[in-house]
Structure 1
């Protein structure tokens, strides 16, 4: 059996769908019974990684686990999960981290992901790490300002990133979970082309058929917005430092990983936009 942690997120949902399509019956962890019903055929564990015993319940008796954690609680959740992986002898862990873990690690955001990788390695499980570039789905953060004022606010707007569709990261994960020969290594996962945030906004404007203003927001403005939304200041500082890293090796150069692992080309940003345009109208 395969456990899926983060089963209702942008990557976890297509992982569950891909496993079901292959005839597997994954065990998923979710706090929302309604979302669990959407994954018909999966075994659902209702709970939260902050609840004692929840990690044991979802990992007991499984052969492999797919794990994606996010946000300021991600590091604590990974520690809990790694301890449970060791207790239950899970043989293979596929963990989504970040290009920020590529050495040398330069900021606290990357350091937290690198520490998570180390924690899973220490369990004795075979570990596969997927290190994606920025997700195309991050573009959805613009929806409120695009619909409200026809404006995109984004710091570091001229740094190129080979943004990747979360479904392509999921496709890589499903293949790795199904083929032991692909496991036990780290993969940097990117999209097909490197685009700046400004260029992505221009493409969005073209598809919408109306102009959008692009504001290369000062980092301090972005920091105030994120801390004002409730994110811890130290987490925000690490995230912004990671986003500002100009090293093209950290997701700035398209790589063939998706094609090599899945046998198909990664989805383009234009194709992703076409499927999500309703969020911006």
Structure 2
């Protein structure tokens, strides 16, 4: 039995779907089972929350391997809760979704959160594999509102580039290391196959939807103002601005071939991702 957490998100849902396609016995840990939709009929479902240890015994009971994904500002606590429940249940292998900031910029807030979470998993004594993806192609869905309402994307990243990875490729790597041996004790940094600036991604979105879309390189103050108006907490605003500054400084453009090396096929491009998600921007 393989447990998948974060099963209603971009990566977790893809992991769930691909494990089902691979014929694996799967259980999903979710806060809201209704969000699983049709997938919920193909897997076992346990309602619970990694932030509530009392809900985890049922989720981890009988589980051999687990895919763990943590969100929020207390990743270390969530990781500790999951590790304790996994160890108690006799789980043999944990695959954790972390972040490339652990390698690229561990001094950043996002990097620190993931460094601390990784440490909890590694200290559990269980076999582990850490996946460290960079920017997700799906992060651009955050632009959909301003593209639809204003025909533009506003972001303080200048000409800085990132190598966006398709969540389906992250999921495929997760499935690979969950169901095949030899990945224990390893960390894999994952990226897409091409480094693109925000302006270049916006141009591709524009071409995909057949409408003009502008990229506006705003100041950090302007970006902050927008996030404050959107109701984001200050801690997350600072973390996001740090990430934008990292990209603007040219620290996010590193490309790895890990996806291709592990899967035997090239990583999907941003254009590939757009073929499935372009309608979100129309």
Asked whether the two chains share a fold, i.e. TM above 0.5, the reply is yes
Is the CA contact (8 Å cut-off) linking 2:161 and 2:195 kept in structure 1? yes
Is the CA contact (8 Å cut-off) linking 2:105 and 2:111 kept in structure 1? no
2 CA distance for matches of 1:220 and 1:267? 34
Show CA shifts across 1:175-201 (max 9, x none).
Answer: 000112123200010111000111101
Structure-2 residue corresponding to 1:279: 280
Structure-2 residue corresponding to 1:168: 169
Is the CA contact (8 Å cut-off) linking 2:135 and 2:165 kept in structure 1? yes
1 CA distance for matches of 2:143 and 2:122? 37
2 CA distance for matches of 1:10 and 1:64? 20
2 CA distance for matches of 1:104 and 1:274? 31
1 CA distance for matches of 2:192 and 2:105? 23
Match of 1:45, SS state, is strand
Match of 1:186, SS state, is strand
Alignment of 1:186 onto 2:182: no
Match of 1:128, SS state, is strand
2 CA distance for matches of 1:240 and 1:187? 25
Name the stretch that deviates more: 67-76 or 152-161.
67-76
Is the CA contact (8 Å cut-off) linking 1:177 and 1:183 kept in structure 2? no
Structure-2 residue corresponding to 1:28: 28
Name the stretch that deviates more: 96-105 or 11-20.
96-105
Structure-2 residue corresponding to 1:207: 208
Task: For residue 73 of structure 1, report the CA deviation from its aligned partner.
Answer: 4.8
Structure-2 residue corresponding to 1:98: 99
Alignment of 1:61 onto 2:100: no
Structure-1 residue corresponding to 2:154: 153
Task: For residue 76 of structure 1, report the CA deviation from its aligned partner.
Answer: 3.3
TM-score by length of 1: 0.93
Structure-1 residue corresponding to 2:4: 4
Match of 1:152, SS state, is strand
Aligned 1:125-164 pairs, distance under 5 A: 125-164=126-165
2 CA distance for matches of 1:202 and 1:23? 39
2 CA distance for matches of 1:196 and 1:221? 19
2 CA distance for matches of 1:239 and 1:280? 22
- Indicate how the Cα distance of structure 1 residues 37 and 103 shifts in structure 2: closer, same or farther if over 3 A, else same: closer
Q: Which runs of 5+ in 2 are unaligned?
A: none
Aligned length: 280
Show CA shifts across 1:223-262 (max 9, x none).
Answer: 33334434331232123213322576x6412211111111
Structure-2 residue corresponding to 1:83: 84
2 CA distance for matches of 1:217 and 1:19? 41
Match of 2:162, SS state, is coil
Match of 2:161, SS state, is coil
Alignment of 1:119 onto 2:143: no
For the aligned residue pairs, the C-alpha RMSD in angstroms reads: 1.9
